[in-house]
Amino acid sequence: MTSIDNEKLAKETLQRYFGFADFRPGQLAIVLSILNKQNTLAILPTGGGKSICFQVPGLIFPGVSIIISPLISLMKDQVDHLLAKNITATFINSQLDKNIIEQRIAGLYQNQYKFLYLAPERLNNKNIIELCLKIKISMICVDEAHCISMWAHQFRPAYKKIPEFLKKIEKKEEKIVISAFTATATSLVKKEIKELLELEPCQEFSSSFLRENLLFHNLICQNQAEKNIYLIKILKMYPQENAVIYCSTRAACEKLCLLLRSLQPDLAIAFYHGGMEKAARQNTQDQFLAGDLQIIIATNAFGMGVDKADVRLVVHYQVPANLENYYQEAGRAGRDGQASYCYLLYNEQDLLIQRGLLAKSYQDQPQHPRQAIELDKIKKMKSYALSKTCLEQIIENYFKAEKISTKNNQKRSDKSRNLPNKAIKNCQHCYLCLNLQLYLDQEEIDHIQHLLMINQQLTRVISQQYSLFKKQAFLLPCVYHQQTIEALAITRQKFQAQSLLPGIGSAYFQLKINQLKIDK
C-alpha cells in the first residue's frame, strides 16, 4: 500500500471504531510509521491519546497485536474499552483462574482476538511462548516503556524479560513490528529503551509533554500546621471540583482522609493505596471514575491508566521521590484540555520520608547503583520545589538532560538558577511566571503559632499518661480547624500504637482539651 492508501485506511478505521473524524496532532504520523512496519518509539503526554496510536494499526494488521502492560487494572480497563467498541480483545495475568487462561489461549489459537494484553511477568511462560510461535503476530507494543530502563522513575525488573521474549518468538519469514510508548522519558531513558528493545533503525516521535492547560504552584510549608492550612485553603478555592491528593505513605493517606472528613463530614472523599484489599481498591477507583467521590487521597499506586477527564485539582500533600513521578501524577489533572491546577506542598521532612523509603528498598543491596540514581532524583525534586524561576523550564530541562548530573553539570545548573528573570523562560502557567502567590494572612499565622503551642501541651500531657510515649520522640500533627481542635488527635506517629492513642471524639481527649482550657 502507498502512504496515501495507509492514511485513508487509518482514518476510516479511526472513524469506524472510535467515532473520530480525524487524528489529534502527531497521532497520524505514529500510526503510519507502524503501518509501514517500522519500529517506533513514541513519547506522548498523559492524556495525549497514545492508545489510539497502536490500536488503529492493530485493527488494520491481519494478525494479533500483543500489548505488554505493567498493571493488571490498566490491562482490564483497556480491554473493557475495546470490548465496548466491539473490538475483540483479552488479557492474561496471574490473577486469572487457570481454566479461564486456558479458554483465552484456546480462543487465541482460533483467531478470536485482535489484541492480547500481557503483563511482563508472563513473558517467560512456556504456554505463552508456544502460543506466540504458532499464531500470527503482527505487532508487539510495549506500553509504559520507560519501565525497562534502570534510569527511569518506575524501573520494573520484569521488563528486562522483553528482549529475550522477542528473540524467542522471532520468525524469519515475517517481521513483527515493535512499538514502544511512554509519557515521560529523559534522553538517557529513551536511549536505553531503544538499545534494550533493539529498535534501531527506529522512527522516534516526541510530542511536547508540557501541558499548557495546567497551572503549577509550589507552597513552602515550615511545619505541619502550615501545610494543613494551605491544603484547606486550596480545597476551599475549588469546592466543587474533582481532586486527587497524593501522599507518600499509606498511613498519611488514611490519616489525612480522617482529618478532612472530621472537618467536613459530608465531603465525598476516600483513600486509596496498595495495602487495601483488591476489591476495596477497585470499588474506590470505580466510585471516583463514576463521580460518586469528589476527592481521592492516594499513594502513587493510584494513577497509571486511570482515565478521568475532569479532574481539576491535583495536590501533592507530600513531596514525591522524583520529577517524573510528580509530573506524571500532576498530569492526572485536566485530561480534557480544560484549565486545571497542580499544587505541591513542600516541607523538608518529606524528603526524609523519601530517603527512608529508598533506604528500605535497598537495605539488602546498599551499594546498588540505582540507589545513587534515586538519591540524585530526590535532590532534583528539592531544587524544583524551592525554585524561584520558571517551573516549566526546570521540568523541560530535566527531561532533555542527556546524562545524570555530574559536579560540573550541577555547577551549571546552580548558575542558571541565579540568572536574572529576563534570561529565564516565562511560561505563563506557573505561579512564578504569573506572579501569583497563595499566602497566609496574619490571623492564620497567629493560629499556627497557637496550634504549635497547644501541640506541645498535648504532647506533654499525653506522654505523662502513657508510659509507651515517655521515652519516645514524637509529635502530634497540628491541624487547622475553625470550630474544634479535636482533629489534633490524628497523629503522624513513628510507631504503631493506635489503640493507646486518644482518637477523634474520645472522652479522654475531650477531657484533656477542657483541662488545657482550649477555646473552640
The helix (H) or strand (E) run that includes residue 50 is: helix 50-60
d(C-alpha 279, C-alpha 426), whole Å:
46
Instruction: Tell me 175's DSSP state.
Output: P
d(C-alpha 414, C-alpha 434), whole Å:
23
Of the candidates 171, 206, 241, which is a domain's last residue?
206
In tens, the pLDDT along 260-289 reads 887 777 889 999 998 899 889 889 988 998
Query: Which pLDDT band, with edges at 50, 70 and 90, does 108 fall under?
Result: very high
- Answer positive or negative: Cα dihedral of 178, 184, 190, 193: negative
Task: State the pLDDT at residue 498.
Answer: 35
Radius of gyration of the chain (CA): 25
66 or 493, higher pLDDT = 66
Per-residue pLDDT at 231 exceeds 80: yes
Residues 301-306: what's their mean pLDDT?
69
145, 41 Cβ separation under 8 angstroms:
yes
C-alpha to C-alpha distances, 97 to 102, 276, 350, nearest whole angstrom: 9, 22, 41
d(C-alpha 394, C-alpha 397), whole Å:
5
237, 361: one domain: yes
d(C-alpha 477, C-alpha 486), whole Å:
11
Of the candidates 423, 451, 475, which is a domain's last residue?
423
Q: How do beta strands 242-246 and 203-206 pair?
A: unpaired
Task: State the pLDDT at residue 210.
Answer: 78
Percentage, residues of the chain above pLDDT 70: 78
d(C-alpha 128, C-alpha 92), whole Å:
9
Per-residue pLDDT at 174 exceeds 90: no
387, 218 Cβ separation under 8 angstroms:
yes
387, 394 Cβ separation under 8 angstroms:
yes
207, 45 Cβ separation under 8 angstroms:
yes
**CA angle, 433 then 434 then 439, to 5°:** 105
346, 278: one domain: yes
242: three-class secondary structure by DSSP: strand
d(C-alpha 285, C-alpha 307), whole Å:
10
96, 115: one domain: yes
Displacement of CA 283 from its chain's centroid (Å): 19
CATH number, domain at 148? 3.40.50.300
193, 94: one domain: yes
What does pLDDT average to over the chain? 79
In a domain, 193, yes or no: yes
92, 116 Cβ separation under 8 angstroms:
yes
Of the candidates 172, 206, 240, which is a domain's last residue?
206
202, 232: one domain: no
C-alpha to C-alpha distances, 426 to 219, 392, 435, nearest whole angstrom: 19, 8, 11
In a domain, 428, yes or no: no
96, 20: one domain: yes
In a domain, 136, yes or no: yes
Per-residue pLDDT at 44 exceeds 80: yes
Per-residue pLDDT at 305 exceeds 60: no
Residue 307: CA atoms inside 13 Å, Cβ hemisphere, count?
14
Residue 262: CA atoms inside 13 Å, Cβ hemisphere, count?
21
Residues 64-86: what's their mean pLDDT?
88
In tens, the pLDDT along 362-419 reads 878 777 777 888 888 899 999 999 999 999 999 888 887 643 333 344 444 444 444 3
What residue numbers bound the domain in which 460 lies? 442-515
Per DSSP, the residues of 419-438 read S-GGGS---SSBTTTTT---
d(C-alpha 293, C-alpha 269), whole Å:
6
Q: How do beta strands 89-92 and 214-220 pair?
A: unpaired
Query: Which pLDDT band, with edges at 50, 70 and 90, does 472 fall under?
Result: very low
Most confident of 8-22, 160-174, 475-489: 8-22
480 or 325, higher pLDDT = 325
Locate 228 and state its grid cell.
494543613
In a domain, 430, yes or no: no
Task: State the pLDDT at residue 513.
Answer: 37
- Answer positive or negative: Cα dihedral of 95, 96, 102, 103: negative
Cβ neighbors of 341 (< 8 A, separation 6 or more) are 214, 215, 217, 238, 312, 313, 314, 333
Of 8-22, 378-392, 473-487, least confident by mean pLDDT is 473-487
150, 370 Cβ separation under 8 angstroms:
yes
239, 289: one domain: yes
81, 168: one domain: yes
Per-residue pLDDT at 356 exceeds 90: no
In a domain, 179, yes or no: yes
409, 468: one domain: no
In a domain, 436, yes or no: no
202, 230: one domain: no
115, 259: one domain: no
d(C-alpha 318, C-alpha 83), whole Å:
38
Per-residue pLDDT at 421 exceeds 60: no
- Structural domain count of the chain: 3
Task: State the pLDDT at residue 504.
Answer: 30
In a domain, 432, yes or no: no
C-alpha to C-alpha distances, 360 to 1, 325, 350, 492, 516, nearest whole angstrom: 55, 19, 16, 19, 40
CA-closest candidate to residue 504, choices 255, 276, 249: 255
224 or 492, higher pLDDT = 224
513 or 40, higher pLDDT = 40
Per-residue pLDDT at 438 exceeds 50: yes
Query: Which pLDDT band, with edges at 50, 70 and 90, does 47 fall under?
Result: low
Query: Which pLDDT band, with edges at 50, 70 and 90, does 185 fall under?
Result: confident
Task: State the pLDDT at residue 463.
Answer: 59
319, 365: one domain: yes
337 or 113, higher pLDDT = 113
Task: State the pLDDT at residue 497.
Answer: 34
CA-closest candidate to residue 117, choices 99, 98, 96: 96
Task: State the pLDDT at residue 397.
Answer: 87
Query: Which pLDDT band, with edges at 50, 70 and 90, does 312 fall under?
Result: very high
Task: State the pLDDT at residue 170.
Answer: 84
Task: State the pLDDT at residue 460.
Answer: 65
Of 27-36, 88-97, 255-264, least confident by mean pLDDT is 255-264
For 59-83, letters b (16+ CB in 10 Å) and e give bbbeebbbbbbbbbbbbbbbbeebe
Residues 163-188: what's their mean pLDDT?
84
d(C-alpha 141, C-alpha 2), whole Å:
23
Most confident of 56-65, 206-215, 482-491: 56-65
In a domain, 433, yes or no: no
Of 29-33, 83-87, 371-375, least confident by mean pLDDT is 371-375
Per-residue pLDDT at 339 exceeds 70: yes
